[in-house]
């Protein structure tokens, strides 16, 4: 028998982080689908479905029509900036394995998160103070940047969660504790056979 056939890998590669990443991708793109699906539902005589989607996203977004993209004569479920945040997050999340190993729990320096938020803060502040009127493009692009960078802090956290869950599961499976057999229980001495040990 060859040495290669006898080789037993000593390091087990966990698949749980990959499943966590895949689930996150599905959720992120489902949310994007709902953002665009709301106006499509409204234009296709499904007002109840559209209302539910708009109402759900209205909890997190102001949904001002003048600051939103439109399709089929109806606005997206969120504004242009939120569209950028969700889109940037979903796209970078999808491409994440090409940029960084999924099983890595190393975080970027937190300064990159703050730096990615600065363009959005400037875009918002200039308009708020009346110095410049931002546009759909500026709102979308600043949202894309922050949403994309956020992925590099979320995925390592999900990976850590997946690895911890798998370690806990493995610890339970490899626990030496076993339930005693019926025969062992039946043959075990009883306290009733030793009155002095009764409480």
pLDDT at position 7 is 41
Q: What is the pTM of this model?
A: 0.78
In a domain, 193, yes or no: no
Count of domains forming the chain: 1
Which of the four pLDDT bands, split at 50, 70 and 90, describes residue 142? very high
In a domain, 7, yes or no: no
pLDDT at position 93 is 98
In a domain, 20, yes or no: yes
- Which comes out higher in pLDDT, residue 13 or 136? 136
**C-beta pairs of 137-142 under 8 Å, 24+ apart in sequence:** 139/67, 139/79, 139/80, 139/81, 139/84, 140/80, 140/81, 140/83, 140/84, 140/87, 141/84, 142/81, 142/84
Do 84 and 140 form a contact (C-beta atoms < 8 A)?
yes
In a domain, 177, yes or no: no
Question: Which residue range is the domain that position 118 belongs to?
Answer: 15-169
**Which of the residue ranges 8-17, 21-30, 57-66, 189-198 would you say has the lowest mean pLDDT?**
189-198
In a domain, 192, yes or no: no
Query: Which tokens sit at 70?
Result: 């439109």
Cα–Cα distance for residue pair 127/63, rounded to 1 Å: 17
In a domain, 190, yes or no: no
Do 101 and 141 form a contact (C-beta atoms < 8 A)?
no
State pLDDT tens for residues 60-85: 999 999 999 999 999 999 999 999 99
Q: DSSP E strands: which ranges in the chain? A: 70-71, 74-75
In a domain, 8, yes or no: no
Do 77 and 54 form a contact (C-beta atoms < 8 A)?
yes
Q: How many CB atoms lie within 10 A of CB 117?
A: 15
In a domain, 4, yes or no: no
pLDDT at position 168 is 75
């Amino acid at each position: 028998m060859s040495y290669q056939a006898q080789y037993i890998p000593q390091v087990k590669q966990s698949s749980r982080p990959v499943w966590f990443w895949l689930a996150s991708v599905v959720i992120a793109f489902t949310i994007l689908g709902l953002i665009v699906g709301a106006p499509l539902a409204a234009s296709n005589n499904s007002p109840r479905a559209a209302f539910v989607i708009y109402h759900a996203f209205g909890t997190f977004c102001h949904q001002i029509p003048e600051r939103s993209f439109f399709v089929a004569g109806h606005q997206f479920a969120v504004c242009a900036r939120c569209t950028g945040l969700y889109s940037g997050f979903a796209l970078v999340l999808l491409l994440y394995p090409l940029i960084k190993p999924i099983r890595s729990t190393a975080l970027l320096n937190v300064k990159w998160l703050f730096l990615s938020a600065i363009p959005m803060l400037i875009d918002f502040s200039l308009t708020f103070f009346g110095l410049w009127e931002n546009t759909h493009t500026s709102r979308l692009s600043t949202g894309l940047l922050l949403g994309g960078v956020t992925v590099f802090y979320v995925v390592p956290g999900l990976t850590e969660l997946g690895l911890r869950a798998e370690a806990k599961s493995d610890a339970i499976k490899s626990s030496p504790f076993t339930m005693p057999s019926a025969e062992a229980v039946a043959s075990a001495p009883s306290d009733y056979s030793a009155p002095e040990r009764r409480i």
